Amino acid sequence: MDDIAEELRRFLLAEFLPGESAANLRDDTPLRTGGILDSVSTLKLVSFVEQRFAIEVEAHEAGVEHFDRIADIAALIRRKQGR
Amino acid sequence: MERSGSAAGAAAQSLCDLLEAAARRHGERVAVVAPDGSSLTYAELEARAAAIAGFLRARGVQPGDRVGFCLPKGTASVAVLFGAMKARAAYVPVDWHGPAARNATIHRAADVAALFLGEARADVLREWPSDALPKTLVRVPMGRTGSAGAHATVVHPFPDGAQEFEAALRHAPLAPDGAGPRRRDDLAYLLFTSGSTGVPKGVALTQENALSFVDWGSEVFAPTCDDRFSSHAPFHFDLSVFDLFVALKHGATLFLIGEELGKEPKGLARFIAEKRLTIWYSTPSALALLAEFGNLPALDLSALRHVLFAGEVFPVKTLRRLTELLPAPAYWNLYGPTETNVCTFARIPLPIAADRTEPFPIGPLCSHCEGLLLDDAGAPVAAGEEGRLHIAGPALFRGYFGRQDLDAKCFHERDGKRWYDTGDVVREEPGLGFRYLGRRDRMVKRRGYRIELGEVEAALQRHPELREAAVVALPDPAAGVRIDAHLAPVGAPLSLIALKRYCAEQLPAAMSPDRFHFHAALPRTSTAKVDYPALLRASAAASP
């Protein structure tokens, strides 16, 4: 079980998908190109990631190419934490 | 009708005349800086536009034709839009990040003779019948145009016979008068906005419309060739008309901001500081994000002299915060529908009192606009009474492209003039100009975009698993306006994720509903119409 991915999933469900079943939000569900996150909710997610995981996300890392799926975001966090 | 202005402005017949005059005066100065850092001087931009115009003419594009493009912000898109106008055709921009089906609908409705398509968006071509593709289809490689964004991995083949952008750029330039004499009543561009029945409508604007607005902007903001303009709005959004043509008329430098940076306030604030931008124009939404997330106190934004905003009401609390963080520039509230571009404006008096909650007035009429307040029966209202704002003058658009049925509803003849009914209800206040009060129809503004709730409904009603769909808009303390969808599904309630993805495929991001409510059946009035007041109450009751 991937703790980081699970934590991201819990945050996304609570903040942006109230009532949605966790099983529908998969690690590869497109968040931004799939219409789940808009520009403001993306900023909220970035803020959450930076605070919760004590990392800084650079602008180019938050681009839609690298920041569209839970799996990509979890990988970014692990890389930043040096794990 | 001809107003005083600079000599070049008064003589201009076309926005192309402004670029050509600037290229003669400022040929070596930088005209445009793209998001990837590449740039074009005035001489280079002029040469590229002339080559594209020559290419289009050689392909049979005639004056009055439409030339579409679906490109990210970049030097290519600026060269294409000037190239189209040099051939006396109108340019038709669409949202690079918009749904392929909607973009194809727009370019088909505009009946484009040529289409410039970024290769990463070739998925748009699937939405065209293969025997009805535009006569000229130009593939624009992504290296030229900047980031492919979300479409990086989605590349479909272009059909045989597609042209290469490089070949268009290498084409012999169109001779200055090669498309016949330019006229102020030539069509300059079509900007498509949300339509209430679900089909976007094309606002047809002439060179006269654009030039009268550019002259007004030049008069009020007195730009010089040392100014450094932001270009935050995408080109299918009418705010871009100010950025592009006011900047380039004066030999200033235009800094194109790509959509990704445009939504990333920390990076955007740094960009404004590093590029020492002097004139900024955007929606209040973008400025609100800068104030909240931009880390402005840590940056030197002292070069900024004008901050302009338009497209929606700026919540006073956020505007006060912004002006406290950045007190030096002059702040301007601009108002006007795409059909007239800006028609009223007001400078915001600073400082803003701490207890003020009332939004600022939209101000008096611009010098090139005439206004009239009429009641619902079409009679002028008494001084100080509320009425629908009607606009006349050289700013007034020609009509909705190919939709005379819509023209009949919005134009009125009065005193020998043609008036456009903005649909906006205002009141005139002595010394302050107009105060915006609201609308009586189902159009709302969000993030500067005009949204017909009927278009959102039509998209949801096309969903095979929904039996009924209706949407309502209600005020939201953070976002300004919230859109709630009320749905009666055929079977079980749909997954939120699936619904959001469906909306992303059908609608521009700003039009997607924020919340979804499920009903066994939608509430109806005694006359069997959808009971919107009941839906609004249900939405309000479900608010946190």
The third-level CATH classification (topology) of the domain covering B370-438 is Luciferase; domain 3 (2.30.38)
Q: How many domains does chain A have?
A: 1
Higher per-residue pLDDT: B525 or B344:
B344
What is the pLDDT, as a whole number, of residue B155?
65
What is the pLDDT, as a whole number, of residue B2?
37
Per-residue exposure over B261-279, b if at least 16 CB sit within 10 Å of its own CB, e if not: bbbbbbbbbbbbbeeebbb
Pairing relationship of beta strands B90-93 and B66-70 according to DSSP bridges: parallel
Per-residue exposure over A30-48, b if at least 16 CB sit within 10 Å of its own CB, e if not: bbbbbbbbbbbbbbebbee
Which positions in chain B touch A17 (Cβ < 8 Å)? 496-497
In this predicted structure, the answer to whether residue B347 has a pLDDT above a threshold of 90 is yes
Task: For chain B, list residues whose CB is within 8 angstroms of any CB belonging to chain A.
Answer: 147, 149-150, 152, 260-261, 263-267, 289, 293, 478-479, 495-498, 500-505, 509, 512
Higher per-residue pLDDT: B143 or B70:
B70
For the ranges A64-68, B239-243, B310-314, B529-533, the lowest mean pLDDT is seen at A64-68
Residue B379 CA: distances (Å) to CA of B273, B359, B386, B414? 50, 28, 12, 11
What is the pLDDT, as a whole number, of residue B151?
57
In this predicted structure, the answer to whether residue B514 has a pLDDT above a threshold of 50 is yes
**Tens digit of each residue's pLDDT (9 = 90 or more) over A14-53:** 999 988 999 999 999 999 989 999 888 898 999 999 999 9
Amino acid of residue B135: K
CB contact under 8 A, A36 and B495: no
CB contact under 8 A, A33 and B289: no
**Tens digit of each residue's pLDDT (9 = 90 or more) over B435-472:** 999 888 899 998 888 999 999 999 999 999 999 999 99
Q: Taking the domain B451-541, which CATH number applies?
A: 3.30.300.30
CB contact under 8 A, A17 and B497: yes
In this predicted structure, the answer to whether residue A8 has a pLDDT above a threshold of 90 is yes
**Tens digit of each residue's pLDDT (9 = 90 or more) over B21-54:** 999 999 999 999 999 999 999 999 999 999 999 9
Burial of B185 (0-12, 13-18, 19+ CB in 10 A): exposed
Domains of chain B by residue range:
7-262, 370-438, 451-541
Nearest CB neighbour to A20, from listed B265, B495, B505: B495
In this predicted structure, the answer to whether residue B3 has a pLDDT above a threshold of 50 is no
Round the average pLDDT of chain B to a whole number and report it.
93
Nearest CB neighbour to A38, from listed B261, B264, B509: B509
> B475 falls in which pLDDT band (50, 70, 90)?
confident
Higher per-residue pLDDT: B341 or B155:
B341
What is the pLDDT, as a whole number, of residue B4?
38
Distance CA B316, CA B354 (A): 10
Sheet holding B515-518, edge to edge: B466-476, B480-489, B515-518
| Paired tokens of B168 | 């268009």
Which positions in chain B touch A38 (Cβ < 8 Å)? 509, 512
Of B410, B423, B310, whose CA–CA distance to B360 is shortest?
Answer: B310
| Paired tokens of B350 | 């600073």
For the beta carbon of residue B433, count every other beta carbon within 10 angstroms. 19
In this predicted structure, the answer to whether residue B1 has a pLDDT above a threshold of 50 is no
Which range scores top for mean pLDDT: A32-36, B196-200, B342-346? Answer: B342-346
What is the pLDDT, as a whole number, of residue A64?
80
The third-level CATH classification (topology) of the domain covering B7-262 is Rossmann fold (3.40.50)
Distance CA B46, CA A4 (A): 52
Min Cα distance A26 → chain B (Å) is 10
Q: Which residues contact B200 (CB under 8 A, 6 or more apart)?
A: B102, B105, B106, B109, B192, B193, B194, B455
For residue A22, what are the domain limits?
Answer: 3-80
User: Are the CB atoms for B449 and B194 separated by under 8 Å?
Assistant: yes
Task: For chain A, list residues whose CB is within 8 angstroms of any CB belonging to chain B.
Answer: 17, 19-21, 24-25, 29-30, 32-36, 38-40, 42-43, 47, 59, 62-65, 68
CB contact under 8 A, B495 and A63: no
Q: Which residues contact A18 (CB under 8 A, 6 or more apart)?
A: none
> Residue B161: beta bridge partners?
none
> B148 falls in which pLDDT band (50, 70, 90)?
low
Of B58, B57, B55, whose CA–CA distance to B47 is shortest?
Answer: B55
What is the pLDDT, as a whole number, of residue B11?
79
CATH number of domain containing A25: 1.10.1200.10
| Paired tokens of B163 | 């042209």
Q: Which residues contact A3 (CB under 8 A, 6 or more apart)?
A: none
What is the pLDDT, as a whole number, of residue A83?
63
> B174 falls in which pLDDT band (50, 70, 90)?
very high
User: Are the CB atoms for B178 and B57 separated by under 8 Å?
Assistant: yes
How many residue pairs from chains A and B have C-beta atoms closer than 8 A?
62
> B532 falls in which pLDDT band (50, 70, 90)?
very high
What is the pLDDT, as a whole number, of residue B176?
78
CB contact under 8 A, B289 and A43: yes
Closest chain A residue by Cα to residue B261 = A59
Nearest CB neighbour to B497, from listed A24, A42, A64: A24
